[in-house]
Chain A
Amino acid sequence: MSASPFLSLVLTGRNDDYGGGFVSRFFRVLRFNLELLAERQLATEVVLVEWCPTPGRALLAERLRDGLPAHLLDSVVTYVVDGRYQDAMSLNPKLAYLEFVAKNVGVRRATGQYLLTTNTDLILSDAMGRALASGALRPGCVYRANRIDLKLGIDDSTLHHALLDNPANHVPRPPIVPPLYAGAAGDFILLDRETFHKLRGFNELYRMVRIGVDHNFLVKALSSGVPISDIGPPIYHVAHLASYQTSKHLEDPDTAERRWGRAWHNHDVIYDNHEDWGLRDAPVRQLSAGIWKLDFEWRAVPPLVDLHRIVLSGMATSPE
C-alpha cells in the first residue's frame, strides 16, 4: 500500500454484535465502500480502531481476515486498544464506549491526505465516489454530507446502487444547513490530515458522552476559522435496532446513558486537547500483519480533569 494514500477511512468498532448482526453488516458495508473507491482508483486505507475488545471474543480484526478479500484486506490497518483505557479515561462510568477518543486514535495514526471519519454502517453513494475522485477537494475545509437513512427491514443483504438510490427505500431527514452543516456529523467528517491534526481531533476533555461530540467538533472547527461545506452527494445509513435514530426514544434512561451519555453544552463550549491527544504515547506493538496493539500505560492517559482547556467557542448562539 502507498505510504500516503489519498483517503483514510477512520472507523471504530468491536466484536460485540452491536445492533445485531454487526460483523456481517460491517463487512458488507466495508467491502462495498472499498470496491467503490477502488473503481474510482482512489488509493485508500482503512484505519479501524478496535476499542477495548470484548473479553472472551475473537478480535474484530481477526474476523475481518475471513470476511474481506485479500486485495481489500491489504488496505486495512487495525489498532486494537487495550480495554483499560476505557475505564482509565471515562468520566462517566455508565458510558460503555468512548467513540470519539477511539476515532482520535485512528485520526492520529492515519496516513491519508484526507481523513474521513465515519461509522461502520455508512455506505458511500456512487455520486460520493465521483465527488471524492473529482479532484475538487481542498485542504482546510471540513466536508459534510447529507445522510439518507434506508428503511429498516429492506433487504440489504446485497448492496447495490439501484437499491441505495431508490427514493422508495429512503426515510426523509432534514437536510444539513450552514453554517455548521450539522446532523449525524459523526457519520461523515472529511478533512485533510494536517488540518485535522491542527484541530487536535475530537473533544477528549469531556469524556462523558458519545452524542454531540461530532457536533462539538464542527463548532470547534468553525470557531478556529476552518470553513465547513456540504460536499454534495449523500451517504446512506443502514438502519438497525441500535441506531440512535431508531432507539433513542425507546430505551430506558439508564440504557440510553450507557450508549450515548447525556445532553451537554456541545453547541457552545469547546476544547483545546492536549498535544498528546489520540493516545499518542500509548506503546504500540504489532500483533500480526495489519494488526497493532496499543498497550496500556498510565503515562498515555490524559488527566481526569483539565478545566482550563474547556473554553468558549466565541460563536454567537441562541438560548435553547
Chain B
Amino acid sequence: MASGLLGLFGLARASHLRAAVVRANSFKERAADAKHRLEAAQRDTTHWKEQVAEARARVAAATRDVERWKGKDSGHLNELATLREKLERVKQAEQAIALTRAHLLAMETKLDVLEGAITVLDRRTRDRLEDGAGAPDIEASHTTQTS
C-alpha cells in the first residue's frame, strides 16, 4: 500500500531505490567488462590479422622460393641430362678410338708383312738378275742359334 501511495507521487521506497542502484551498478560493471572484452577481442583480431598477413607474406615468399628452386632444379636436371649424354658420347668415342687403334695396329702389322714380302721378292729378283736370270738362290747361310 505504502509503495502504491509513494508511487502516486513519483516516489519509491528507499530499499527499492538501493536495489535499483545496485542493479544499475552491476549493469555498468558488466557493460565495462563487456567493453574490455570487446577491446581485447578487437586487439586479438588485429593481432591475428597481422599474423595472417604475415603468414600470407611468408607463404607468398615460400611460393616464390619454390618456383625459383623449381626453375633451378629444372636447370640442374637439364644440365645433368646433358652431362649424361656427353658422357655417353665420350664412352662411344673411347670405344671408337679403341677399335680404330686396334684396326690401325692390324693395318700396321699387315704393312709390316707386305714390306717384308716386297723386300724378300726384291732380294730374290736381284739375286736372279745377278745370277744371269737363273733361279733365285735361297740357300741358307746361318750363324745364330735359338735359346
Contact B145 A14 (CB under 8 A): yes
Quick one: which of A86, A244, A304, A311 contacts B117, CB cutoff 8 A? A304
Given the interface pairs A84-B138, A269-B105, A304-B117, the reply to whether A12 lies near B146 with Cβ below 8 Å is yes
A-contacting 9-mer, from B16-24, B69-77, B119-127: B119-127
A91 touching B120 in the complex, CB below 8 Å, given contacts A52-B140, A269-B106: yes
Residues of B within 8 Å of A268, CB to CB, are 102, 105-106
Q: Name which residue of chain B comes closest to A246, CB basis.
A: B147
Query: Does A102 belong to the interface (CB within 8 Å)?
Result: yes
Contact A88 B138 (CB under 8 A): yes
A87 touches B140 (CB 8 A): yes
Q: Which residues of A contact B15 (CB under 8 A)?
A: none
Q: For window 94-147 of chain B, which residues contact chain A by CB distance below 8 Å?
A: 98, 101-103, 105-106, 108-110, 112-114, 116-117, 119-121, 123, 138-147
Closest A residue by C-beta to B122: A93
A157 to chain B, nearest CB (A): 19
- Which of A119, A265, A305, A319 meets B108, CB within 8 Å? A265
Q: Is the CB of A208 within 8 A of B103?
A: no
Q: What is the CB-to-nearest-CB distance from B123 to chain A, in angstroms, rounded to a whole number?
A: 6
Do A22 and B145 touch across chains, with their CB atoms under 8 A apart?
Answer: yes
Report the nearest A residue to B143, measured CB to CB: A16
Contact indicator B147/A121 (Cβ below 8 Å): yes
Distance, CA A258 to CA B143, complexed state (A): 10
27 A-B contacts (beta carbon < 8 Å):
A18-B146, A18-B147, A51-B146, A54-B142, A55-B140, A83-B142, A84-B140, A86-B142, A87-B139, A91-B113, A91-B117, A92-B119, A96-B142, A97-B144, A99-B146, A119-B146, A120-B146, A121-B147, A210-B146, A244-B147, A258-B144, A268-B106, A304-B116, A304-B120, A310-B106, A312-B105, A312-B106
Chain A residues engaging chain B, CB cutoff 8 angstroms:
12-14, 16-19, 22, 51-52, 54-55, 83-88, 90-93, 96-97, 99, 102, 119-121, 205-208, 210, 240, 242-244, 258-259, 264-265, 268-269, 304-305, 307, 310-312, 316-317, 319
Known: A16-B145, A264-B112, A304-B117. 9 other contacts (CB 8 A): A14-B145, A16-B144, A22-B145, A85-B140, A93-B120, A121-B147, A265-B106, A310-B106, A317-B102
Contact A312 B103 (CB under 8 A): yes
Check B102 against A312 for contact (C-beta < 8 Å).
yes
Residues on the B chain within 8 Å of A269, using CB: 105-106, 109
Write the chain A residue with the least CB distance to B123.
A93
- Residues of A within 8 Å of B106, CB to CB, are 265, 268-269, 310-312
Interface residues of B (CB under 8 A from A): 98, 101-103, 105-106, 108-110, 112-114, 116-117, 119-121, 123, 138-147
Chain B residue with Cβ nearest A237:
B147
- Could you say which residues of chain A place their CB within 8 Å of the CB of B139? 83-84, 87
Contacts of A119 in B (CB 8 A): 146-147
In Å, the complex CA distance between A16 and B119 comes to 27
User: A92–B143 contact, CB under 8 A?
Assistant: no
Asked if residues B113 and A208 are in contact (CB atoms below 8 Å), the reply is yes
The answer to whether B109 and A310 have CB atoms under 8 Å apart is yes
The answer to whether B142 and A16 have CB atoms under 8 Å apart is yes
Q: Which of A244, A304, A311, A317 has the most CB of B within 10 A?
A: A304
Q: Tell me the complex Cα distance, A311–B139, Å.
A: 32
Q: Max chain A CB contacts within 10 Å: which of B109, B119, B141, B147?
A: B147
A310 touches B146 (CB 8 A): no
Residues of B within 8 A of A240 (CB): 147
In the complex, what's the smallest C-beta–C-beta distance from B102 to chain A, in angstroms?
Answer: 5
Chain B residue with the shortest CB-CB distance to A16? B145
Known: A120-B146, A208-B113. A87 touches B101 (CB 8 A): no
- For A13, the chain B residues whose CB sits under 8 A away are 145-146
Partner of B143, one of A54, A102, A120, A317: A54
Cα of A14 to Cα of B140 in the assembled complex, Å: 13
